[in-house]
């Protein structure tokens, strides 16, 4: 199935393949953000970056666990994200992150990328 042909959710952002079809995503040019979202009682952390397989920007559902030794994390959806390469956005990753914030009524953002990079270096 070609998800690029689906109707966009908003502003060039579309639904991703189900976890059953794409259980793992490799991100390059990545960041990790902690956010507050309207109507959610707790803050959540999300991976954002460039999806290597589909050559698109990607933002994850909330991170549930993260293994700094492998650079792999599992999100609330059950998808596994692997962080590779250096942090720092490309155009598509940054665009997707900005649109995701708007669509999800994000009220506050803290970039925790350096914290995650430091954990990965220590392992």
* Residue with tokens 């030794």, as numbered in its chain: 69
Domain count, the chain: 1
Average pLDDT of the chain to the nearest whole number: 88
pLDDT at 5: 44
Q: Which domain holds residue 87?
A: 3-122
Tell me the per-residue pLDDT of 84-113, one tens digit each, with 9 for 90 and over. 988 888 878 999 999 999 999 999 999 999
Name the band, by pLDDT with cuts 50, 70 and 90, for residue 8.
very low
Q: Nearest Cα to 59, choosing from 98, 114, 20, 21?
A: 98
Query: Does residue 28 have a pLDDT over 70?
Result: yes
Sign of CA dihedral 101, 8, 12, 58: positive
């Amino acid at each position: 199935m070609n998800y690029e042909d689906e109707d966009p959710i908003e502003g060039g952002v579309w639904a991703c393949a189900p976890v059953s079809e794409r259980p793992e995503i490799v991100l390059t040019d990545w960041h990790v953000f902690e956010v507050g979202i309207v109507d959610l009682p707790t803050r959540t952390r999300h991976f954002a970056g460039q999806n290597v397989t589909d050559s698109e920007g990607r933002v994850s559902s909330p991170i549930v666990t993260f293994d700094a030794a492998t650079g792999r994390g599992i999100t609330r959806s059950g998808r596994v994200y692997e962080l590779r390469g250096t942090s720092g956005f490309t155009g598509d990753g940054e665009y997707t992150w900005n649109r995701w914030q708007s669509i999800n009524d994000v009220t506050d953002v803290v970039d925790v990328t350096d914290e995650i990079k430091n954990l990965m270096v220590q392992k």
